[in-house]
Amino acid sequence: MGNSDQPVSVVGAGVSGMTTAVVLAEAGIEVEISSAMPPRQTTSAAAGACWSPYLVNHERATEWSEVTLAILAELANQDHTGVRIVGGIDASRVPTAAPNWTEKLNSFRLCHQNELPGGYLVGWWYEMPILDMPVYLDYLAARLARVGVEVQLRKIDSLHDLARDRIVINCTGVGARELCGDDLIMPARGQLVVVNNPGLTTFFQDCEEREEDLLYWLPQGDHVVLGGCTSRDSGSLEPDPEVAREIVKRCARIEPRLAEAKVIENRVGVRPSRKEVRLEEEGNIIHNYGHGGAGVTLSWGCAATVLELVKELGVAHRV
């Protein structure tokens, strides 16, 4: 059982950790959250990001993603959340069917051939939540601050030591490989380019299963996020200038207005790729990591499951 005199400790301040802390704190549970780096320096801050079950596997992934989708749709109607609902196209140069999860999204329909860029055979239009991650993480931090919770900047060397007198929620992402000795965690390095928006209002994603040369853009108001690449077993956070140039070049072949768009920044993050999300109890520790490229997509659903597990263990409530 958890010690009722101690707060629940969330470790990790990426989107999974921040969302979990919000859900626990707003349920009246005494919470603290700690991280080796502030939210805007986590992998989550470097994400695109959009609601999309990408690089993820778990029998409850659909359930968790649907919970998250409903909440993000609500947040898109509020100011200063960084969430907006945007329409756009997924397309493929080879015959393929739309994934099952598109059925959950508004305005889904197959595209007519004249709607697709040259060389693309099939595609589908739909609307999905797109998130400006730095703004979104600030929004989550503000929700925590309203209930008196601030991110504590400190490195946790042992979850088990911390869990001797409290419940610990492990949301350390790729850091769980070292912290938990979890060799199933594989770093998946992603790189994006952020440019001034030359007037794009819809997204585009090439949905073929390539990792080194992904092709998509996500408009986020006055800027656009261009992607991307995924490099397995790489943990480097240094932007590769050649990769950045190739990302812009691929996107500009489809949307020429992007060719001359001013580059604002390059983003690099390391996704916590794992053959299956780990969300389970281990004594006083609840693990919530290994979300791959779907940290945002699963965040609210996984946090709700963590809340259920915390209640079973017994917790301290705020007075």
Contact (CB, 8 A) for 91 and 266 = no
DSSP 6: S
pLDDT at 179: 94
pLDDT tens per residue, range 176-221: 999 999 999 988 888 999 999 999 999 999 988 665 688 999 999 9
Q: Give the mean pLDDT of 297-312.
A: 97
Whether pLDDT at 3 is above 70:
no
In the structure encoding, which two tokens stand for residue 109, read together? 């329909």
Binding region: 43-44, 172, 216, 271, 292-297
pLDDT band of residue 22 (cuts 50, 70, 90) is very high
Cβ pair 308, 190 in contact under 8 A: no
pLDDT of residue 209: 66
Q: Where are the beta strands (DSSP E) in the chain?
A: 8-11, 31-35, 83-92, 109-110, 122-131, 151-153, 168-170, 186-196, 203-206, 216-220, 223-232, 263-273, 278-282, 285-289
Residue of 113, 55, 107 whose CA lies nearest to 86: 107
- Beta sheet of 203-206, edge-to-edge order: 109-110, 122-131, 83-92, 203-206, 216-220, 223-232, 186-196, 263-273
Q: Angle at the Cα of 298 (from 124 to 196), degrees rounded to 5?
A: 60
> Is residue 124 within 8 Å of residue 37, measured between CB atoms?
no
**Confidence class for position 319, pLDDT limits 50, 70, 90:** very low
Which domains are assigned to the chain? 1-82+132-183+274-319 (3.40.50.720), 86-127+186-273 (3.30.9.10)
* Sequence-distant (≥ 6) Cβ neighbours of residue 184 within 8 angstroms: 274, 275, 276, 278, 290
Annotated binding-site residues for D-dopa read 216, 271, 293
Q: Can you give the pLDDT at residue 318? A: 54
Tell me the per-residue pLDDT of 253-286, one tens digit each, with 9 for 90 and over. 999 999 999 999 999 998 888 999 999 999 999 9
Burial class (CB in 10 A: 0-12, 13-18, 19+), 36: middle
Q: Which residues are annotated as a binding site for FAD?
A: 43-44, 172, 292-297
**Tally of residues, the chain:** 319
Spatial separation of the C-alpha atoms in residues 225 and 200, rounded to whole Å: 11
pLDDT tens digits for range 95-133: 999 988 887 888 999 999 999 999 999 999 999 999 999
**Nearest Cα residue to 50 out of 203, 266, 174, 201:** 203
Residue 19, token pair as written in the block: 């969302």
Q: Which two tokens stand for residue 115?
A: 């709607």
Angle at 282 between CA 279 and CA 287, to 5 degrees: 30
**pTM for this entry:** 0.93
Helices marked H in 29-78 — which ranges? 61-75
Cα–Cα dist 222/128, whole Å: 18
Q: Are 225 and 48 in contact (CB under 8 A)?
A: yes
Q: Find all residues with CB under 8 Å of 22, minimum gap 6, and list them.
A: 140, 143, 144, 303
pLDDT in tens, 68-102: 999 999 999 999 999 999 999 999 999 999 988 88
Q: What pLDDT does residue 2 have? A: 47
- Taking only the tens place, the pLDDT of each residue in 226-261 is 998 877 656 678 899 999 999 999 999 999 999 999
pLDDT of the residue at 317:
59
Instruction: Give me the pLDDT at residue 237, please.
Output: 84
Each residue's pLDDT tens digit, 135-181: 999 999 999 999 999 999 999 999 999 999 999 999 999 999 999 99
